[in-house]
Every structure is written in structure tokens, then in C-alpha cells.
Amino acid sequence: MTKKLNIKDHNTLFQAEKYQKQAEEKRVFEAACSVQEVEDTVELLKTEEYKEKNFSREAATINPAKACQPLGAVLASLGFEGTLPFVHGSQGCVAYFRSHFTRHFKEPVPAVSSSMTEDGAVFGGMRNLIEGLENSTALYKPKMIAVSTTCMAEVIGDDLSAFIESARIEGAIDQEFPVPFANTPSFVGSHITGYDSMIRSILAYLSEKNGNLSYKRPSDKVNIITGFDTYTGNFAELKRILELMDVDYTLLGDHGDNLDSPANGEYNYYYGGTKLEDVAQAHNANGTLLLQKYSTKKVTKYINKKWKQDTITMSTPLGIKNTDQLLKNIKELTGKQIPQVLKDERGRVVDALTDSHPYLHGKRVAMAGDPDLLLGLISFCLEIGIEPVHIVCTNGDKNFAEEAETLLKTSPYGMEGKIHVGKDLWHMRSLLLTEPVDFAIGSTHMKYCAKDAGIPLVRIGFPIFDRHHMHRYPIIGYQGTLNLLTLIVNTILQQLDDEAPDHSFDTVR
């Protein structure tokens, strides 16, 4: 007879006597401050006085809503056929990137490291890189290795171009084996700049090496680049829209399949991704549509300048207005018509928005995330009458702040909105406690300040560690708009139920 496993969740596990005793001993050992002191500090942190101190903080960042540059480079690399992301630097960094992605996507993420240690930091990491490239090609049989760097390799000034050339001369990798690379120090930028640099590097490497840039073959194809997008459902939705519009396209950086592979009994390191030969021909396309602009600045510049191609950039197409714009952009680049089926879909979503509007109108929201996502979210909120109040963008810049402010001014619902560029989630906590809102939108990292403020968190963005399968549902397009609406309105309705006195615990809402 099989024995039933008794697996306890943390919630109950740490109530057991032995853990309670351990916690008490730890408190005594650390000479922890008194309960009263903790309570006083909690109250102080809720005040305007503390908020001012918090906002004058310059030398420290607490819980930033951003991740490392090489993490973005790893995601970009996973968008190409048979490509192994290789991070030159310390092993711990790569463990962090892999675990971050695995916790979000619930998928294994192949990425290797040159595992530099103290001797590498002193004498340079060339041997680590050469041996790493040799071992990786032998063990994992990739079609391409995409190299990014961590802080350590950048601080000591490792020369990737020279090291990779040395690897070829030594025979560690074949002369023709593709190894694009991007310098991605994390003391500047964030995951979106790392993504940008790596996509640019891969496009430049494959098109300039294998394609003849001076010879432009006529092509009806268009290129699409999603930007740093962690919703695998968005990839499926985008492809569905493109197919409905009968568009011949190349999705440059198609990491959706690699992070959503089926469990069929066989593990494959590489699943899906843009074909390398398609990247080599992408410069012949009619134009390129980029679905994010702040995570694709270098890529856009490269495509305009080197491929001499028309580009259209937009921020994440969330909501009706932005999806309309997405379809118009596709039509403009391809000349294809918007089919009736998409027009009907739009009508159904507008109908759903109207149904839910009474519960959303005038609700105040705080949000944090990447610049492109925030622009999409602000636009979506304004069109359904939600008022964005606190908008924190750790990795935003002046251009983003101006664009977001202009967007807020287009609607009476945006009048109270304030953009906080370069601020973190500890700043957000002060904002939530001094100027309350009804709910918050952000990644899992925002759950702590949302809990302290006693408001629900709608999890949208990256990373989402503590809810399952959110990334499988699209948030772009009309279908994605419906998913966003469902998520938000049902959170508000749940809150109404939770707070309802008996006489208002309604069956119908």
C-alpha cells in the first residue's frame, strides 16, 4: 500500500512547535527589537514625513522594478532557433537568470556560464570563455551561441571580440560557427536594454555575415519584433492576428515556443525560435514593426540605418485603441485588409467593457513595470475609466516620462496621474500609504507594498512567481484586452464580496 505523503505548505508548516521554538531562539540570539519598536516603526513608515525622507534617498535602491541587463539578453537569445545563451561572468548571475525565468514560466531554461571565479577576475576570463564555448558546443550541440556579459567581466574589461576570435584560432569552435555577442553590464541599464543589445547583435551578425546587405531582393515579407515580452500567450495571439490578416512575416526573436514546450516525455534544449536563415534574409523585408519602443531603441536605429528599412514602433498593444493601432500598422506595412472576424472580435470586447464599466469607473490604481507595458496599461485604464494615480517606472527615462504625461493628459481620468521615473517599489510603498488607491497593477514583487496598503494586486508584468499560468494568456490584441478586463474586474468584484456585509453579499453583480 502506498503511503500518503503529508506535504505541508509554509502557511501551516512553520506553525509546528519546533519551528516556533527555532524562531524564538533566533529572536533572542539576534537581540531583536521589541514588538513596540516594530509597531512604532510601521506607523512612522506610513507618514508624509517618512515619504519625504524616502523620496530624498539617492544612494540606495530598495526592491527595484527591474532586472539585470544579461537577463534580457538571455531572453532575446532564446528567441532564435537552436541558440544557447552563454553568459560570460560569474556563475551566480546565470543561476539567478535561469531561476527567474523558471519561476515565471515554470519551464527549464537552458543557459550556460563561463563560471569565472577569483582567478578569472584577476587574470581575465579568456580561458573560461574559450573552454566554455568548446564544452558548450560539444555537450549541447547548438546552432548558435549568443554571448552576453555580467558585471564582473565588464569591470575587468574582457574583450569578447578578441576572445571569440582566439577560440576560433585555437579550434575550440569552427570558423563559421555563429557567436554573436552583446556587452551587458548591469551597473547600467536593465533587462530591456540587455534585450535590445542582444537582438541588435544577433540581427547584425546574421544579416551582415550570411546575407548580402548591398543586394536587396524584393520581398513582400515584413519583420515583427515583440520587444521584451514575457507572455507566451502574446506570441500565439500575435501569430493568429497575422494569419487572419494573411501576412507573410518573420518574427525576429520568437522566444514564445522555447518557454512553452510540451511535456511529451522528451526534453529538448531548443524548441522553436526564429530560423537563422530567415534572420539572414530579414533585411530584404518590406519593413519592420516593433511592438515595444523602449526595449528596442538600438534595434530600431540599426534597422533604419543599416537595413535602410521603414520601421514602425509602438508601445505594447494593450486595450482597444492600441490594438486598433496595431492592426492599422500591419495594414500600413503590408497593404492587407483588416478582416471582418477581427472587427467582430473588437465589437465583442467593447460589449464586455461596457458590461464591466460600472464597477471600474473612477477606480484609482497604482502601477509599476517596464516603460512600454506601462504606456499600454495607462491607455487601457483611461479607455475604461480607471484613474492611474501612482506610476513607478524604475527603468524609464525622460522620454518615457514625457510620453506618459502626455498620454495622461488626453483624458479626464488621467488628471491625477504622476510618473515616477527611476523610483523603486519602496517609494511606491510610501505613495500607497500616504495617498491611497483602490488597487495595484504590477509584478509579484509588488505584493508586499500592496499588502501593507491593504489593496488587491492584479499581477501583470514580469516576473510573476506566485500565480500560475498567467503568461499563457495573451494581454495584447482584442483577446488580450478581454483577458485584462476579466482579470481586473473580477479582482474588484472579489474585493466587493470580501468586504460586503451580509445584506450586500450579492449573487448577481
User: What is the closest distance, in whole angstroms, from the C-beta atom of residue 96 to ligand SF4 in the complex?
Assistant: 5
Distance, in Å, from the CA atom of 143 to the CA atom of 439, rounded to the nearest integer, reads 46
- Please count the residues of the chain: 509
Q: How many residues bind ligand SF4 (CB under 6 A)?
A: 7
Q: Which is nearer to ligand SF4, 150 or 201 (CB)?
A: 150
Name which of 29 and 187 has its Cβ closer to ligand SF4: 187
Out of 51, 54, 65, 70, point to the residue binding ligand SF4 (CB under 6 A): 70
DSSP per residue, 367-409 = EES-HHHHHHHHHHHHHTT-EEEEEEETT--HHHHHHHHHHHH
Residue type, 17: E
What phi and psi, each to the nearest 5 degrees, are found at residue 16?
A: -65, 150
DSSP string, 165-195: HHHHHHTSS-TT----B----TTSS-HHHHH
Q: Site residues for ligand SF4, window 75-94 (CB under 6 A)?
A: 93
In the bound state with ligand SF4, the residue whose beta carbon lies nearer, of 88 and 390, is 88
Q: What phi-psi label fits residue 319: left (phi over 0), alpha (psi between -120 and 50 degrees) or beta?
A: left
Judged by beta carbon, residue 97 or residue 302, the one nearer ligand SF4 is 97
For ligand SF4, the closer CB: 181 or 473: 181
Residue 120 engages ligand SF4 in binding (rule: CB under 6 A): no
In the three-class reduction of DSSP (H, G, I as helix; E, B as strand; rest coil), residue 313 is classed as: strand
Closest CB 424 distance from ligand SF4, rounded Å: 15
Our CA angle for 21, 25, 27, nearest 5°, is 115
- Sheet (strand 287-290) strand order: 249-251, 222-225, 287-290, 310-313
Contact 221, 242 (CB under 8 A): no
Least distance (Å) from ligand SF4 to the CB of residue 93? 3
CB of 66 to ligand SF4, least distance (A): 11
- Burial classification of residue 223, based on how many CB atoms lie within 10 Å of its CB (0-12 exposed, 13-18 middle, 19 or more buried): buried
Q: Crossing angle for the helix pair 477-499 and 232-244, nearest 10 degrees? A: 140
Report the SS3 class of residue 41. helix
Q: Under the criterion CB under 6 A, does residue 153 sit at the interface with ligand SF4?
A: no
- List the one residue from 54, 148, 150, 444 that touches ligand SF4 (CB under 6 A): 150
Is residue 68 involved in binding ligand SF4 (CB under 6 A)?
A: yes
Site map for ligand SF4, 175-214, x if CB under 6 A?
Answer: -----------x----------------------------
End-to-end CA distance of the chain: 49
96 binds ligand SF4 (CB under 6 A): yes
Catalytic residue positions, numbered: 151, 155
| Residue of 126, 151, 327, 384 that binds ligand SF4 (CB under 6 A) | 151
Residue 264's SS3 state is coil
Shortest distance in whole angstroms from residue 150 CB to ligand SF4: 4
Q: Which residues of 332-348 are buried (b: 16+ CB within 10 A; e: fewer)?
A: ebbebebeeebeebbee
- Contact 456/214 with Cβ under 8 angstroms? no
Cβ-based nearer residue to ligand SF4, 98 or 364: 98
Nearer to ligand SF4, 70 or 319 (CB): 70
Would you say 94 or 330 has its CB closer to ligand SF4?
A: 94
As measured in angstroms, the least distance from the Cβ of 70 to ligand SF4 is 5
Work out whether strand 364-368 and strand 387-393 pair parallel, antiparallel, or are unpaired: parallel
Please report how close the Cβ of residue 374 comes to ligand SF4 at its closest, in angstroms.
Answer: 23
**What is the nearest approach in angstroms of ligand SF4 to the Cβ of residue 157?**
15
SS3 of residue 493 by DSSP: helix
Based on the shown chain and the rule CB under 6 A, indicate whether residue 359 belongs to the binding site for ligand SF4: no
Positions in the binding site for ligand SF4 (CB under 6 A) = 68, 70, 93, 96, 150-151, 186
